[in-house]
Structure 1
């Protein structure tokens, strides 16, 4: 890890802490600063990936920016995701799509989080539409359709993303699991609309690769039985290569088998699995 990368990240973090000093405006593990300084002094190994949240003050609006910096930042773009209490799901998606475009337009090599926060403060109100009063009768909701999404990611390491995925599962009332490590495997199940909204929010985060490998839909009138009672994070670490933790395939297959869904193993890996001995 380059000394210059760590220096730039440390200097920017200290700037952001100075800009947002009030309680609750920044959420960060301050131990990272100590690890970074020790590394720059030649007394420690490189610090881990830096991630934090910023809640800049805005009138009548609660805005939160989640930041994760790749090890090569600022020569690589940051991963950022914004939320605001007055945005609905579609407005939030549009905001994050355009935020990603803005970040990609910034010249690499210079720190940019303060610039990103400023852009949000200047632009977030544009995505809030006034709510029109309902003047027509609201039709009765249709019968529910249920779904189960099987999702594959190149890896799931980020503490911030894992925390957000768990929080979104509670918000949208979906059940399933998230297998962190490399690769990352996720299952969400429940009402089809809830699954789709959860997936839209998660997909909007910055990923190296994340796709739905298999989608199971249960039409109106068919029997739908949840395989999972809640949404949980699981880990089955096998071999390690550097900072990559690869899953234990046998343990993962056993977990699927215990939840009556081992059939999906072949969809992920192209082969039948077997339990760990």
Structure 2
């Protein structure tokens, strides 16, 4: 690796990704940093490599090594991370094929890493999507989540935008999902700092959801907006498929929400800055 490539911006990009991971995963439990790489990973990397293991959905482990120069930001000379995906014993009930999953992941990573951009969060999302597709259909959470439609709503429909100083606790993350399923709400939870919860559905159920959420112990949490369906730009359901958790870098949040009909102005109401799409 040429010394000129190891610029301050390179290290800042990698450090920013690590700090965001720390805000989303519980260090020592879901996120474990280690000094020496596990078998199967490249062990000849320079001393400033970072190695960690992520537990994802309690079903899989993703071992990651970020080498010097990652992310390069240059598709002509990408510095690729080393990642190994394996299933945990708890995944046996889901009848997943570890070899097939690993092969598909490696194929995806090969293409994603060629951009030279950070890929850790994209890898997490890829694994989570695959696990969700394989997850046993009789799990408690899956049985609670039902398709939402306007015809099924008995009263007014609202969309709540809740912002927390951070969302990291596994217990809170579990309750956020379970209560949304119980109350038949669509939406999403985005752990990290700040944390975001969007809850859409029957007004009475949504208000009950907010009552429960704010009753938990938080450093700071606020209901930033309560949109009423049919007012202004809010005229289509944004989350008819249910409620789920997303691991997403801050700069990717607006792009994802915008694809579901959320405007830059609405994003500004919630976060104080207008949403911007990547060029």
TM-score by length of 1: 0.42
Task: State the structure with more CA Rg.
Answer: 1
Structure with the larger strand share:
1
Higher relative CO (Cα under 8 Å, sequence separation at least 6) belongs to 2
TM-score, L = length of structure 2: 0.42
